[in-house]
Amino acid sequence: SQPKPTRRGALIVVEGLDRAGKSSQCEMLREYILKQGNAVKYIRFPDRTTPIGQLIDNYLRGSANQDDHSIHLLFSANRWEVAKSIEQDIASGITVIVDRYSYSGAVYSAAKANPTLSLEWAWQPELGLPRPDICLFLSISAQEAAKRGGYGTERYENETMQTRVRELFRTLFDRQEDIAIIDAGESLDEVSKDIQKAVSDCIARLDSIGPLRVLG
């Protein structure tokens, strides 16, 4: 008999504001998927290790300035430079967990309230990138986030930005599909359980979803 074709992996994105617990939950999800006997990779954006990522890192730390549009396109380019490898991993059966993605990309740039940098403008360079099978949005109140420590020293880590970002995520998610809102104000384990449920449902739907799609 013919060998069974490889079932593709799932593309799972984790999004949220500062200190929502994205990285903690990505790590826990990685362990969970691994324990179920599935191949998994955990990647994050920005990927500060590439040449483009180093420009982004300098900008975020405040050691370099960039035009708002220019840095926006670099964040996007930082995703495009790994788009092919994500597609290949998914096709070969590896589930890919992504810590921040196009949604952060569009929202943080649009939150600068630059008159020529709208949410619509900011979304355009994302069109055609691998489309997540599910985007888990870790939702947390400003008060809960504050309990997890004060603002850091990077650009964007201030109240004005975070408030605008929160509103823009809402606007964007009204326009996008496959978004699961997760209450991230609970304990690490409770949040993790909710994520596992949403991800299991998504993986069960993969056959009916068909091949990996692209962002539109």
Nearest distance in Å: CB 26, ligand Z5A: 8
Angle between helices 159-175 and 102-110 (to 10 degrees): 130
23 is a contact residue toward Mg ion (CB under 5 A) = yes
Partner touching 9 among Mg ion, ligand Z5A, none, CB below 5 to 8 Å by kind: none
Q: Which residues bind ligand Z5A (CB under 6 A)?
A: 16, 18-24, 45-46, 60, 75, 100, 104-105, 108, 148, 156-157, 187-188, 191
Give the one entry of ligand Z5A, Mg ion, none that residue 139 binds, where binding means its C-beta sits below a cut-off of 5 to 8 angstroms depending on kind.
none
- Shorter beta-carbon distance to Mg ion: residue 27 or 81: 27
Angle at the Cα of 165 from the Cα atoms of 161 and 166, rounded to 5 degrees: 120
Q: Which is nearer to ligand Z5A, 10 or 168 (CB)?
A: 168
Sheet holding 11-16, edge to edge: 40-44, 95-99, 11-16, 134-139, 179-183
**Which single residue is written with the structure tokens 């008159």?**
115
CA-nearest of 122, 162, 125 to 16 is 162
Nearer to Mg ion, 8 or 79 (CB): 79
Question: What is the rounded CA–CA span in Å between residue 13 and residue 182?
Answer: 12
CB of 125: closest distance to Mg ion in angstroms? Answer: 23
CA distances for 72 relative to 21, 56, 78, 102, 174, angstroms? 24, 9, 10, 11, 22
CB of 45 or CB of 123, closer to ligand Z5A: 45
Report the alpha-carbon distance of residue 205 to residue 211 in Å, rounded: 12
Q: Which does 59 bind (CB under 5 to 8 A by kind): Mg ion, ligand Z5A, none?
A: none
Shortest approach of Mg ion to residue 22 CB, angstroms? 5
Q: Which residue's CB is nearer to Mg ion, number 22 or number 131?
A: 22
Query: Given the rule CB under 5 A, which residues bind Mg ion?
Result: 22-23
